[in-house]
Amino acid sequence: MGVLLMLMTIGGLVVAGILLAVAWLHQSPWLKKFVLGGAAIWFAFYIVALLAVSLTSKERTLSFNEPKEFCGFYLDCHMHTAVTGVERAKTIGDRAANGEFYIVKVKVFNDAKRATLGLLTVDAKVLDDQKNIYERDLAAEAQLPPQPAFERLISPTESFEKEVVFDLPETVENPRLDLREGYGIDHLIEAVLIGDEDSIFHKRNYFKLLEQNPSAGVK
C-alpha cells in the first residue's frame, strides 16, 4: 500500500504540474486554485497516513529464516535478507575475541520475476537491550573463508549466504542484528514511504541472534 500511495503521489505531482502550466498559459485563477487546493488536501492526507502508520508501528524481532524486505530508490521491494544461523566462538583463526564472536550467517535472495538485482551499501550492526551498538569485526571476518559481497547482483532464482562477525561482550543482553541498505537518496525516499521500516518514526525490524551451533573456535 505504501508503494502504491507513493506512486500515486508522484503521478499526481506530474499531473498537477501540467495543470498549473495550463492555468498559467490560459490565465485561469480557478484552475490554479483547484490544483493547489487538491494538492494540499492530498499531501495533508499523506502526511497523516505516514505519521499514523509509523507511530502505531511496533518493533519486531525476526526469527531464523524469517525474511526482511528492502525497497530502495526504485520502490521494487524484491530484495530480501534472512538470518539462517548463528555460531558463537572465542577464536576465529588467530583472532581472539575480547568477549565472544558472533558469526552470523545471512541469506540474501531476490524474488523479482525477471530483474537481476542487488543490495546497495549494506550497513550491518548489532544492538542490545541497553541500546549499545556494535560494528562488524572486519579483521575477524577476514579469517573466515572468502565471502561474497552483500552487494552482489543475483537473478530471481538465485540466493547466497554471507557470514558477518561481531565481537560482543559475554554479558550482552538480547543482541539483535540491524540490516540497512541504500544510498542517501534511498533513505530520503524511504523516510516518506508509508509502512517502510526506514520511514520517519517507524519502529525497526531486527534479527534475533540466538545461538544455533556453538563451538569452542572456528578455524
Q: What is the tens place of the pLDDT at every residue in 43-98?
A: 999 999 999 999 999 999 999 999 998 876 555 678 899 999 999 999 999 999 99
Residue 127 φ then ψ, to 5°: -130, 160
CB 84 within 8 A of CB 100: no
- Following DSSP, what letter does each residue of 33-60 receive, concatenated? HHHHHHHHHHHHHHHHHHHHHHHT---E
* Phi, psi dihedrals of residue 128, rounded to the nearest 5°: -120, -175
Give pLDDT tens digits for 184-205.
Answer: 777 788 788 888 888 899 999 9
pLDDT at 126: 97
Which stretch of DSSP H or E encloses residue 207? strand 205-208
